[in-house]
């Protein structure tokens, strides 16, 4: 039972990060119908930005401000850097391709992803960066927490899950209760009609990228709070975020949130429980299992769990 609780908590933590990344993909796909391959690398830049700010604030052992403020500042800084990066990418790599065949911005995105990952490698080297919050007061963020059954849910995980939840609520609010959010939804529904209704498409798209990339930055910090980061994580993180968005239904915001959590739980349970003599072991082959689930899903319900089926007008 203890293992189940532990795995569930793990799944929730993982899933929150995946959900934040998936939201960024879904938002951009909704308005641009573009799969932003560079998103994972924006996430990676966020982890590094957060690391830099953490060092500026005195490092994990002796921060100059209270730890909760450190985490908030680091998150905000990463969000800001990523938002700026996202806007720059959109402005220079995607906007000129707004009217080109669909394949063009996709390939441009591949190029941006490659460019970002290797630029960070060039500038900051391959050494992993560890926020190392274990150093704070002898590891209290890891050791103190909520007690459920026989398991302690550490403060750090609670922070991650809560922060992701808060951000998702803010996002929901922005998308559903503000005018710009309404414009975003209109644009994702039908771009030309929205333009004809007087919505400034360029501004909406920039706003979308700001939102999506900021979420990636926040996801980066949430991720890096617990595990070391390095310049190569962008590809895998992006892939996982992709899978999450697709499971939930790309283009659907609740879908991205659900997809992220589902993926987190899937991975966690598969790694923890799947273990038998004649089947591939869960810890080694979790990728295989997840992909199998995904491909089956794609073949039978390709719009994902909560997505809209594609209706193409002739």
According to CB under 8 A, which one of 26, 108, 160, 188 is a site residue for another protein?
Answer: 108
According to CB under 8 A, which one of 69, 128, 146, 162 is a site residue for another protein?
Answer: 128
Site for another protein contains 295 (CB under 8 A): yes
According to CB under 8 A, which one of 134, 165, 172, 265 is a site residue for another protein?
Answer: 134
Q: Are 145 and 158 in contact (CB under 8 A)?
A: yes
Q: What is the dihedral sign for C-alpha 135, 136, 137, 142? A: negative
Using CB under 8 A, count the residues that bind another protein: 85
Region of 4-12, 57-65, 74-82, 175-183 interacting with another protein (CB under 8 A): 4-12
- If the CB atoms of residues 102 and 169 are measured against another protein, the closer one turns out to be 102
- If the CB atoms of residues 92 and 189 are measured against another protein, the closer one turns out to be 92
Q: Which residues contact 176 (CB under 8 A, 6 or more apart)?
A: 185
Site for another protein contains 124 (CB under 8 A): yes
Q: Which residues contact 311 (CB under 8 A, 6 or more apart)?
A: none
DSSP 153: E
Alpha-carbon Rg for the chain, nearest whole angstrom, is 20
According to CB under 8 A, which one of 55, 56, 58, 119 is a site residue for another protein?
Answer: 119
185 membership: H or E segment, kind and range: helix 179-189
According to CB under 8 A, which one of 114, 165, 172, 265 is a site residue for another protein?
Answer: 114
Tokens 């899950």 label which residue?
161
Structure tokens at 27: 């938002």
Site for another protein contains 64 (CB under 8 A): no
Site for another protein contains 96 (CB under 8 A): yes
d(CA 261, CA 265): 6
Tokens 């993180």 label which residue?
237
Q: How far is the CB of 80 from another protein (least distance, A)?
A: 15
According to CB under 8 A, which one of 72, 152, 172, 195 is a site residue for another protein?
Answer: 152
Site for another protein contains 236 (CB under 8 A): yes
């Amino acid at each position: 039972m203890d293992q189940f609780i532990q795995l569930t908590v793990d799944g929730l933590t993982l899933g929150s990060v995946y959900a934040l990344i998936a939201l960024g993909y879904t938002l951009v796909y909704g308005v641009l119908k573009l799969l932003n391959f560079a998103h994972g690398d924006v996430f990676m830049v966020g982890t590094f930005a957060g690391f830099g700010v953490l060092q500026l604030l005195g490092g994990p052992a002796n921060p100059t401000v209270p730890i909760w403020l450190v985490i908030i500042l680091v998150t905000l800084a990463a969000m800001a850097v990523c938002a700026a990066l996202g806007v720059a990418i959109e402005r220079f790599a995607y906007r000129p391709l707004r009217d080109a065949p669909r394949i063009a911005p996709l390939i441009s995105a591949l190029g941006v992803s490659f460019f970002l990952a290797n630029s960070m490698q060039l500038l900051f080297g391959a050494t992993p960066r560890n926020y190392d919050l274990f150093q704070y007061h002898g590891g209290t963020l890891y050791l103190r927490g909520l007690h459920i059954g026989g398991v302690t849910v550490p403060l750090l995980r609670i922070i991650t899950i809560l922060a992701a939840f808060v951000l998702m609520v803010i996002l929901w609010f922005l998308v559903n209760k503000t005018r710009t959010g309404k414009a975003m939804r209109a644009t994702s529904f039908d771009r030309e009609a929205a333009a004809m209704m007087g919505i400034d498409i360029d501004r909406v798209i920039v706003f979308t990228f700001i939102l999506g990339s900021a979420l990636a930055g926040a996801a980066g910090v949430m991720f890096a709070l617990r595990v070391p980061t390095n310049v190569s994580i962008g590809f895998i993180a992006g892939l996982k975020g992709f899978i999450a968005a697709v499971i939930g239904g790309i283009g659907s915001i609740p879908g991205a949130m659900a997809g992220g959590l589902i993926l987190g739980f899937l991975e966690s349970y598969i790694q923890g429980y799947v273990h038998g003599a004649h089947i591939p072991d869960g810890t080694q082959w979790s990728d295989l299992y997840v992909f199998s689930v995904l491909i089956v899903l794609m073949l039978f319900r390709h719009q994902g769990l909560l997505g809209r089926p594609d209706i193409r007008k002739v």
